[in-house]
Structures are given as structure tokens and as C-alpha cells.
Structure 1
Amino acid sequence: MNQRKEWEEYQIEVSEVLAEFGFATEVEEAIEGARGRHEVDVTARIRYAGVDQLWIVECKRWKRPVPKERVLAFASIIDDVGADRGLIFAEGGFQAGAVRASRNSSITLTNLTDFISNSANELSSIKVSGLTRRIAELENRFHSIWDLDAAERTRVNSRYIGPESFGLKQPIAVMACLSMLKNSLEAASFNRWPVPYRPLDQAEDYSNGLIDVKNWDGLLFVAEKTLETCDRIYNHMTGDGNSDIHWQDLQPTELTDLLTAIRNMPSG
């Protein structure tokens, strides 16, 4: 029986750790990209918030630090196969240039111990990626209303029941909320806490103000419930059901109750 080599054992160990996070993993998978085929050490796939995600992983069981050139080459593979994120696991560390090359990118430089220790942040990044994509899809759907012919656009806009902005019966407030939510998720990804959250009803009553969100649990909760509300508003606009409702009837009760509790808290 052939004994596995040390680097093969490392790939399997990384794959098993990712599987514990709920990923479907495969070791040494060949993936077709736009510019060619790539042999990937580990692939990890997961579905969150209705969105499929692909992470690709390089495993470096080296005694020396990984250089910048390896990170740059990996970045090109991520781009070519359209992966949502890339991880390089290396027990020998990373050169300073490699760390700089990974900044503000979709690449995480780590090792097994650190990855497991930072599990909460890693799980949050999965959710952020899915939510960010949902925001982009919703923004595109609302923008697409302007591509309708005049009669259909008038019909759809007449069914808008969301919060008004400056007296306009158009989804401007919804779009502003989605834009801020996207920015807040990005800021949280760079650990810039607290981040602002703009409730939909702020467009109707500016005295409510922005809410500072101080942790991932709170941000992911309000983001998920807000997107659910915006999605329902859009579906109401483009549907033909009962229009005699208020947009807050479409907002999940859990979010409404949370906002009420926050606003009823004594100041100071």
C-alpha cells in the first residue's frame, strides 16, 4: 500500500476542516476557467441565502514562507474560474510581500490553527458574500423597472407601497437602503465596527436616525430581514395581488419588534 505524502495529508486535513463548516469539498479537482484548466488543491462549495459559492484553496506544507509571486498567481486563478474566494493554507507562514498582495482582495492567508480559531469570522464571510450578491440582484431588479415600456412601468410604479422619499412614490428609499447595507457589509468585512444600518422607515421619519450595529450577529440579522422586505416590495410591485396594504405588513415581525425595542430604549 502506498503511503500518502506529507503534502497530500495536508490537503486532506484542510478539506476535512472545511467540510466541518458545511462545505462540500473535493481534493485535487480540475476546474475549467475562461483561459484554461486549473488543478486546484481543494475546492469548497456551499449554498447560503439562495446563492451558491465556490472557494478554491491552495495548501502549502512548506517550511519556508510563501512568496508574493505565489499569491499573485493564485489571484489570477481565482479570477479565471470565477471563484468567490481563495484561501492559501501555509504552515510556514508568508513573506511580507505576500501579505501586502493579499490585502483588500478575496484571498485569505492562513494556517489550520488560525483558520479554526477565526471560525466565527470565516462563517460570517460566507454569509456576507451571499448577502452582497442578493443586494446586487435586488438592485438590478429595481433598476430593470426603467427598462419596461411606458404603460407597464406606470402600472408597476403605481403599485409601489414602500417608504416614500421626498414625497416621491418610487423605490428611491429602498435603493438607498440597499446601497447603505452593501457599504455596511463591506465595512464590517474590514472590521470597521460599529457600522451604520438604515431602516427602511427612516425615509419616512428622519428623526429615527441611523442605528449603529456593533457585531456580526446583529448585522447579518438586520441585513437578511431587510432584504426579505425589499424582495417582497419588489414582488408586490410587479405582481397583481391586493394593493391595499402597507409596506410594513411585508416586513418580518422580528425586525419590526427589534427596531421598536431599540427606539424605546432610554437615551444615554
Structure 2
Amino acid sequence: MKPWKKYQEDVSTYFTSLGLEASTDITIDGVRTKHDIDVLVKSRHVGFDITWIVECKLWKTPVTKLHVLALREIVADVGADRGIILSESGFQSGAQEAAVLTNVQLTSFGEVREIAQNSFYALNLRELYDRVEVCRERYWSISKQDRIEAGLRPDSCGFGYSGDHIVRCCSALLARAFRGIYPFQSDSLEEVVLFGEDKIFESSKEVIEIVEKLTGELEGKLDAYCQSR
């Protein structure tokens, strides 16, 4: 594989590893014409579709102003949210000036990995927080007896699934994930019950995967209860 092609594929693979949809060498329709895109990145967060157009410049010379202006036109023509030019050889001063106060970002692959990862995880954590809060409201809007019958909580003297414990556990995990200090260990009662007192959480990605699973299961049970009414 040629170096420039591997560069594109590495960029695509990275965005995919974050849970985004990424494709290389894509042709898309704009309002005025078709455009060939190095990497097209798509995702959906908090009910909004997000589209990024990524140009990969594995060149020996800095990117010029003309390339920035060209990407700005493409972004506008296809209605993308952001354009990103990745260059490992930097950018001419005119290119940097052309990107100021626009939705085109000039960076390198190494820099975008750090920025995109942090931004993506922050979006995910915020979205999950909102979902957990909605679950909390839905859970407590149901009578105790109905929660028992729907399998949302155990009987008074029994053991079993508890939506309240799930909400508490997810809230505790997200609160510490927002601080971004890893690793951390189970410390709330709900976390210890679910994962054991020796469980170590290593990253935002791990917390997101766990909370996503727990929240999705609770949402399913709440939906099932609503459908049975």
C-alpha cells in the first residue's frame, strides 16, 4: 500500500475506533457538483447528524491557501459541519489565515487524535448523562407495584434487578468520568454490587461502553412497561 493511501486508511480506522462512521475515497454530491473526499466521517449525537470532511495531505511541503479555500467551498457545497486538513508538513501562513474564523480546521494526525478523542468522549458522556437522567424521571414516575410487576425493581424482601441501582451506578461512574482522572476504582455501593470492589476503570471509553449497556437495558425495560399500558 502506498504511504498516502495508508495515511488515509489510518485516519479512517482511527475515527472508526471512536465509534464514528468513516469511509475513504468517497464521492459525494454537493448542491453544485460532485466532490471526491479522502475521508468522510459521520456520526449522530443527541439527535443531530454530524458530517466531517477530512483531507489527508501526506506531503513534503506545507499546505497552501488555495487548498484551504477549496475545502471551504466543498464544505459549504455539501453542507458539512466541519472540514479538516491533516498535514504532517505544516501549513503556509496564508493557509492559516484562510482558516481563521471558519469551520475548517488545520492540524496534524497526531493533534487530531488527541482533540477528536477528547471531544468525542465528552459528547458521549454528556449524551449518556442526559439519558440516565431521563431514565431516572421515567423510573420514579411509575408506581412501586408497577415497577415490581414490570421487573424494574425487586419485591420489598427480594433480590434482583433494580432500575434505581442502575441509575445510581451510572450517575456515579459518569460523575468521575467527567473529571477525566484515570484509573479509578469502584467505590459506590451500586458499583461494588455490580462489578465487585476490586473493579478498576481505566478510561472514558470503558466507562462509556459500560454505561451505554446498562442504560440501554434500563431503557428497554421502561419502554416495555410503557408498551404494556
TM-score interval, normalised by the smaller of the two chains: 0.5 to 0.7
Provide the C-alpha distance between the structure 2 equivalents of 1:99 and 1:118, rounded to a whole number of angstroms: 18
Match of 2:93 in 1: 96
On the 8 A contact 1:115/1:122 being kept in 2, the answer is: no
Instruction: Report the 3-state secondary structure (helix = DSSP H, G, I; strand = E; otherwise coil) of the residue aligned with 2:38.
Output: strand
Match of 1:108 in 2: 105
1:54 paired to 2:51: yes
1:11-48: CA deviations, max 9, x gaps?
Answer: 10111111122111111110000010001001011010
Equivalent of 1:86 in 70, 83, 99: 83
Give me the identity figure in percent. 37
Residues 21, 37 of structure 1: alpha-carbon distance in 2 compared, 3 angstrom cutoff: same
Instruction: Report the 3-state secondary structure (helix = DSSP H, G, I; strand = E; otherwise coil) of the residue aligned with 1:35.
Output: coil
- How far is 1:108 from its partner? 1.3
Q: Which amino acid aligns with 2:101?
A: N
Gaps of 5+ in 2: 135-170, 176-229
Matches within 5 A, 1:8-157: 8-123=5-120, 127=123
Gaps of 5+ in 1: 129-216, 229-253, 259-268
Instruction: Report the 3-state secondary structure (helix = DSSP H, G, I; strand = E; otherwise coil) of the residue aligned with 2:9.
Output: helix
Q: TM-score, normalised by structure 1?
A: 0.46
On the 8 A contact 2:18/2:117 being kept in 1, the answer is: no
Over 6 Å off, 4+ runs = none
1:86-134: CA deviations, max 9, x gaps?
Answer: 111111111111111111111111111111222455327x949xxxxxx
Provide the C-alpha distance between the structure 1 equivalents of 2:20 and 2:39, rounded to a whole number of angstroms: 11
Provide the C-alpha distance between the structure 1 equivalents of 2:78 and 2:52, rounded to a whole number of angstroms: 10
Q: Which amino acid aligns with 1:47?
A: R
Instruction: Report the 3-state secondary structure (helix = DSSP H, G, I; strand = E; otherwise coil) of the residue aligned with 2:69.
Output: helix
Instruction: Report the 3-state secondary structure (helix = DSSP H, G, I; strand = E; otherwise coil) of the residue aligned with 1:65.
Output: coil
Matches within 5 A, 1:187-202: none
1:143-163: CA deviations, max 9, x gaps?
Answer: xxxxxxxxxxxxxxxxxxxxx
RMSD: 3.0
Provide the C-alpha distance between the structure 1 equivalents of 2:98 and 2:130, rounded to a whole number of angstroms: 32
Q: Which amino acid aligns with 1:68?
A: K
Instruction: Report the 3-state secondary structure (helix = DSSP H, G, I; strand = E; otherwise coil) of the residue aligned with 2:44.
Output: strand
Provide the C-alpha distance between the structure 2 equivalents of 1:121 and 1:104, rounded to a whole number of angstroms: 22
- How far is 1:60 from its partner? 0.3
Q: Which amino acid aligns with 1:105?
A: T
Instruction: Report the 3-state secondary structure (helix = DSSP H, G, I; strand = E; otherwise coil) of the residue aligned with 2:60.
Output: coil
